[in-house]
Structure 1
Amino acid sequence: MKNKIIYLMVAASLLGVGCSEEFLDPVRNTQVITDIDFAENADLNPKLIAGTLDGIGAFMIEPAGVTGTRHYDLGQKGVDIFLDILSGDMALSANSYGWYQNTANLVATVDFTREENRIIWEYYYKIVSTANNVIQSFGGNDAQPQNADARHALAQAKAYRAYAYFYLTQIFQRAYDPAQEILPFYDLDTNSPAKVQASQVFARITDDLNSAIALLDDYSRDQKHKIDKYVAKGLLAYTYAAMGNYADAKTLSDEIVDANVYPLTTTGQLAYPGAGSGFNDVNSASWMWGYDITAEMGHQLLDWWGQIDYFTYSYAWAGDRKSIDNGLYASIPAIDVRKTQFGTTGLTALMPINKFFDPGRTAGGQQTVTTDYIFMRIEEFYLLSAEAAARTGNEAAAKTRLKALLNSRLGGTANTDAYVDPLTGQALIDAIYLQTRIELWGEGKSYLALKRNQATVTRGTNHVFRSGQSFLYDIDDMSFQIPQTEFNNNSSISTQN
């Protein structure tokens, strides 16, 4: 336990170093551990590297990790809520405390002074900075460690950097344009406080993930918050799809599915009261990437579960309700088990009380959070494979993947065949997009699908703000803004994207 605390303290120090002028300053700052310290000590103490990688994982779930106080500053799962609300599929259906009103009202996305922009921006750039320190400790981007543990550590650092840059591209660029200058860029080879073209950022993402996949080929992890080759392949599949490279997105998605390492979530697991139901346990066989939340971590009021789960003592229970958009809910047929994931009456109507829930199922009952975080699961790649196949003209393959997923959702092959077989062309693509929104509701992936499909979202009537209005994926309102703090501290940028 003492060593674990030391490693987390080291990681916390590193995470405090952002991609700002301080990070690039050649004058040594002796108050933090730098890449110089890593280079001098990594071989002598490999646990320093392992602890820092664990620190990145811990930062991904840290309450108020950027601001220290704000109750929507929740790491990756906090970003997921922002994106789910922005996609329109998650309705802020009651607004008692105001944490998400600026996102739901599309105010934060057009006002760079709003705190939501800073939280997202600094969260990802701190991960970039820490990953850069680890990569530098091994000799830089082209390092080729001989030791297996070193290879795996370098691979995970590259995957974390790619993950952070991928989300930055999705959130701060309205639509994929490789020639557009979009982000300050720091990857050791290039340290540019000025914005660089999207093509340069995406080249680094794909290079990092391809390298990580190769380096992780013989890696077997002991905890699901660590990145293995399947998670790296999943991130790369999403990246290729965002670039419009659906051939490679399909290849990677198929490799993940066909490996048969992760089975589909069963019918019973999809919704309470099925056996083993609920998306609350990192040990669920279909989960590829997630985090085991324990009582010792002390997560309470300020937690993703508090913002989503009616059975956790926090905002969702007390009056800031997050519900499925009622138009999306209406599109789910009665025979679909996923319709039962949501409440139907009273205060919990359309809340995800049978998908995301504390197993105790007492209203406001879970005070110390022990329900786990999901980052990625196998169903994402059945759907992405189907989407990629449909977009590259292989409708038979698209239907095969879609049927494999839906058989356990729609009550068997007869219902599934009746739904899928008539689909063709754009109707097939639209159906896959709809199934992606239904299957992955509340998991932070609908926004990515919205952008890939270049879709228009029309909000239902159960949104407190902007109900019934329609928004095209690439308008200013639908992406976040480079925050005011970056303009204040970085004279090399002067315009938004």
Structure 2
Amino acid sequence: MKKKYITKLMIAACLSSALSLNSCIEEVFPESSTATIDQIGKSDQAISAMVNSVVAFINAFRSYGPQFYHDFGYSGYNLIRESACEDFFCHEPKFDFFDTYGVCNDLGDADVVNTIWYYNYKFLNNVNNALSALEKADDAPENKYYKGICLSYRAMIYMDLVRMYEYKKTGVEKLDAEAASKNLYGITVPIITDETTEEEGRNNPRAPFYAVYKFILDDLASAEELLSDYQRPTKNLPCTPVVHGLMARMWLEMGSRFELYPEDLNTLNNNTDLNIASKETCFTKAAEYARKVINESGAMPLTEKEWFGGDSYTTGFNSVLTNSWVWGSIMTTEDVHSYWLNFAGSMCPEQTFGYGNRKWQGYKLIGKKLFDQIPNADWRKTTWIAPEDAHKAPGTKYKTLLTDDDFADMPPYTGIKFRPKNGEMNDYTIGAAVDYPLMRIEEMYLIEAEAIGMSQGLAAGISKLEDFVNTFRYNTSVGSYTCKVNDLKEFQKKVVEQKRIEFWGEGIIFWDYKRLELQVVRGYPGTNAPIGYRFNSIEGYCAPWMNIFISLYENVFNKGAVLNPDPSQAIKEWVE
């Protein structure tokens, strides 16, 4: 195997994470431009710094270069995916820096598209470098935990990659025929591990779905064992409930696949040792792992008061200390590199330092169609400004830090879900240092409800869904939630509807649209989608733009990687 090197600059960077290793690594290597993995493995400080680099990459700033406004970490790439769905618009489109999959143009050989591939594989490279060093290290207890942490992140990254890049039928004849001619159906992304050599990487084909599923499940099983007695100091580190949450997501993904494509189950069983009996087996496991997270984590769904930021409206969706968060990033002032380019500046309408505010009008809006489906009994509805309340003072209905005049400036459907840190509206070094949710307990309740419905029957699933919504999300003195559906497909859509409300702006819903191959509808009479965004995918198929184009550069350096069809403008825009 070729000797692996990592630059001193990568491991010597000052990183801020909760591994309690917040200082720069000392110069422990000979004076040269590189340090070998063997050298790093013999240095506790170097290993700690490398694991820190994995945890800190969630908040990586300008990982691709200085020209991309979304390139401020995992949250920025989540917003890119959010724009591919149907509930996330920008009031002033010229300040919509996440619109790539909203306007559906330049979705092939384009720099913005390249950044998605680059960010994820650079993230993966950090993980694999750390795992390589850990293989050379001693058996100290912390190294066992470090390995479990790294494997958890690797599983998360590969789940994201598989779901973004696997080609699903779109109903667009030209695209689907091209995919068939390239034998793209059922293949995902190249697998790169800490054992992959440069030579192997030069001709590394996209792996079949079953190989990556097995790889992810193996990583999660190892992480579960390694972290079984781990007591994490803070929530930006994976632990057993986090691993179980990732397992719940993975088994739900697999169950949905075998529901839509029963023949894929035989393909998986013929090529792996997973021996899955049925799609119901997958859904049963998804429900079991989701329930484990609920029981193990101690987390509880947000109350109405917590959702809107407490008594002073300062803690809404900006602190990892929130009880419902199972896993999240942690940001400090040192992690904020720009007053303009950050999550808070994009998503918090109460701040003054970014562009999602009164000055620049880059307010983020919920789709009208979804908003209209939220009953008044659902207290989450006042997360967005109703049309009849726009351009008025908030009164007691809306919880906000803004003055009456500033609140009245916001257009209909503006989201006020996300708050600047500590309610700091002006100083970006404080207000933009917001933590970011990677897993909330509410997701586990909704995974459990769907998975039980798909494995135990419609009535059982409906009961779980109604119980969650009525217990945690409705003011039952105003009205109660009833899920009125007659088949499992419609039931899944009802679960996803709750996810669309619950996780707006959190980058969750893309996975459900693609997993279930749901229609995206942005064009309809009365839509608030700006002109240029009003694309409707074909019912019964995956939206073309959700089959993300693999960076052309991957094909330049890896001759085994076959590219997806370019989905740019594959569907004509709806016109009223």
Asked if Structure 1 and Structure 2 have the same fold, meaning a TM-score greater than 0.5 normalized by the shorter chain, the answer is yes
Contact 2:300 2:441 in 1 (8 A): yes
1:316 matched to 2:316? The reply is no
Q: Which runs of 5+ in 2 are unaligned?
A: 1-6, 16-31, 170-182, 256-281, 392-409, 566-576
Following superposition, the deviation at residue 296 of structure 1 comes to 2.8
CA distance in 2, matches of 1:178, 1:470: 24
Whole-angstrom CA distance in 2 between matches of 1:199 and 1:268: 44
Q: Contact conserved, 2:62 with 2:72, CA < 8 A, in 1?
A: yes
Mapped contact 1:180–1:198 kept (Cα < 8 A) = yes
> Pick from 32, 46, 49: which aligns with 2:47?
49
Determine which of 187, 190, 206 is the counterpart of 2:193: 187
What is the total number of aligned residue pairs between the two structures?
466
Q: Assess, with a 3 A threshold, how the Cα gap between structure 1 residues 266 and 189 changes in structure 2: closer, same or farther.
A: same
The one-letter code of the counterpart of 2:370 is L
Alignment equivalent of 2:473, drawn from 409, 423, 430? 409
Distance 1:211 1:329 in 2: 42
* TM-score, normalization by structure 2: 0.74
Gaps of at least 5 residues in structure 1 are: 1-5, 15-29
Residues 63/290 of structure 1: CA separation in 2 closer, same or farther (3 Å cut):
same
Partner in structure 1 of residue 244 of structure 2: 233
> 1:365 maps to what in 2?
426
Q: CA deviation at 1:13?
A: 11
Residues 436-485 of structure 1: CA deviation (Å, up to 9, x unaligned):
11111111001011122221111152222445532145243222210122
Q: What's the counterpart of residue 303 of structure 1? A: 342
Instruction: State the alpha-carbon separation in 2 of the partners of residues 197 and 425 from structure 1.
Output: 28
Identity within the alignment, %: 24
Partner of 2:316: 278
**Structure 1 CA distance, aligned partners of 2:458 and 2:187?**
36
Q: Deviations over 1:226-273 (max 9, x none)?
A: 111111211221122112232221111111112251111112112257
8 Å CA contact 1:80, 1:444 repeated in 2? yes
The Cα shift of 1:493 comes to: 2.7
Query: Structure 1: which amino acid aligns with 2:206?
Result: K
Deviation, 1:100, is 2.9
Is residue 261 of structure 2 the alignment partner of residue 261 of structure 1? Answer: no
Shift of 1:410: 1.0
> Residue by residue, what CA displacement relative to the aligned partner does 1:334-367 show, whole Å, maximum 9, x if unpaired?
11111111123143432221x10226768x6342
Matched, 1:154 2:144: no
Distance in structure 1 (CA, Å) of the matches to 2:366 and 2:8: 40
Q: Which amino acid aligns with 1:204?
A: F
Q: TM-score, normalised by structure 1?
A: 0.85
Determine the C-alpha separation between the residues in 1 that align with 2:309 and 2:454.
35
| Distance in structure 2 (CA, Å) of the matches to 1:256 and 1:431 | 22
Match of 1:479 in 2: 547
Q: Is the 8 A contact 1:280 1:356 kept in 2?
A: yes
Tell me if structure 1 keeps the 8 A contact 2:537–2:544: no
More strand by share: 1
1:38 counterpart residue number: 40
Give me the whole-angstrom Cα distance separating, in 1, the residues matched to 2:333 and 2:194: 38
The within-5 A match list for 1:87-236 is: 87-97=85-95, 99-109=97-107, 111=108, 113-139=109-135, 146-175=139-168, 180-189=186-195, 191-192=200-201, 193-236=204-247
Which of 242, 250, 253 is the aligned partner of 2:287? Answer: 250
Write the deviation string for residues 284-333 of structure 1: whole angstroms up to 9, x where unpaired.
01111112222232342111111111123112122333211111111111
Q: 2:245 touches 2:444 (CA, 8 Å); kept in 1?
A: yes
Secondary structure of 2:228's match?
coil
**Helix, strand or coil at the partner of 1:182:** coil
For 2:36 and 2:364, locate their aligned partners in 1 and report how far apart those are by CA, in whole Å.
Answer: 41
Q: Which of 457, 462, 465 lines up with 2:528 in the alignment?
A: 462
Letter in 1 for 2:413: L
How many angstroms apart in 1 are the aligned matches of 2:12 and 2:411? 40
Match of 1:17 in 2: none
Q: Distance in 1 between matches of 2:478 and 2:460?
A: 19
Distance 1:413 1:97 in 2: 41
